[in-house]
Amino acid sequence: MKTNTIRRVLGGLAIAVLGSSLANASSITWYNNIFTAPDSPTSASNSPVGAPNQYSTPYSATVTIPTFDPLTAPPGFINQLTSVQIVMNWLSSGSVTIYNFDSNSAHNFTAASSSVPLSITGPDGTVVNTTALTGPSGGGSVAAAPCGGCFSSTTVNGLSGSGTANNTVIGAGLLNYYGNGITTLNFSFTSGNAAFSGTEVGGSGHLAFGGTAIDGAGIAVTYNYVTVAGVPEPSSFLMLGSALLGLGVIIRKRLKA
């Protein structure tokens, strides 16, 4: 019984001395607005940046974010990643054109909208996927086509949308975010082909939907980490040794009693 008590005391003391080197969890976030012009990434910032510029789809770009530096911790300590969160903030705007191929009558529509697939891929292969949506519009009417085999059309302008999407890196993938002799990491951004849609009211097959869409996105990468002792400092060993020596003397006296 005494032996078990002694073991618990010694174990708790060791944890208290060496575990005292643990610091509170911390994080740092880097921002980049993908680019100021196609294929021209902006510089990353550790402060939030303004709304991203928007460009006609489809397009792609490579954006850079600084690596995580484990050596910014105080002497004798090291920063250790626990997770990396990748957030995409997107904006989209455009117009939808509705075509009427029926030369006999006008047709009404509602919910005209556009959608664009967006994705960001991190250096470890983690992907953030989303769909940028504009609209839907309230609706309207398209006049009858002026002749057989031709069409009439109307355009809904000023459609817009915004949103966010995210994914989190944990486990072995975190190794790809450390410095390892490099200073920046590449994230691939892709904006796919836009699709346009709507609902024909009171029928089907007479209307078709097309249009234009532009979009842009920003990326925010958050490094979540803890600060831990690299190699325990001599002072930690000295504290532990002195404590154990004193405890040993006390235990020895109690065993003799």
How many domains is the chain partitioned into structurally?
2
Please name the helix (run of DSSP H) or strand (run of DSSP E) that holds residue 159, with its range, or none.
Answer: strand 152-169
Q: 133 and 16 share a domain? A: no
Close Cβ partners of 62 (under 8 Å, ≥ 6 residues apart): 41, 186, 187, 188, 189
Question: What pLDDT is recorded for position 249?
Answer: 47
Q: 239 and 210 share a domain? A: no
Q: How many helices (H) and strands (E) does the chain have?
A: 2, 11
Q: 74 and 192 share a domain? A: yes
Q: 252 and 144 share a domain? A: no
Q: 139 and 15 share a domain? A: no
Residue 138 has pLDDT above 80, yes or no: yes
Question: What pLDDT is recorded for position 141?
Answer: 96
C-alpha to C-alpha distance for 183 and 29, rounded to whole angstroms? 15
- pLDDT cut 70: percent of the chain above it: 77
Q: 106 and 118 share a domain? A: yes
Close Cβ partners of 11 (under 8 Å, ≥ 6 residues apart): none
Residue 103 has pLDDT above 70, yes or no: yes
Q: 137 and 13 share a domain? A: no
Residue 88 has pLDDT above 60, yes or no: yes
Q: 190 and 169 share a domain? A: yes
The identity of residue 143, as a single letter, is A
Q: 159 and 236 share a domain? A: no
Q: 136 and 63 share a domain? A: yes
Q: Which domain holds residue 186?
A: 24-230
Residue 8 CB coordination number (10 Å): 10
Q: 13 and 94 share a domain? A: no
pLDDT tens for 63-78 read 899 999 998 888 899 9
Q: CA torsion 149→150→155→160, rounded to 10°?
A: 40
pTM for this prediction: 0.77
Question: What pLDDT is recorded for position 29?
Answer: 96
Under the banding of pLDDT at 50, 70 and 90, the label for residue 23 is low
Residue 22 has pLDDT above 80, yes or no: no
Q: 95 and 200 share a domain? A: yes
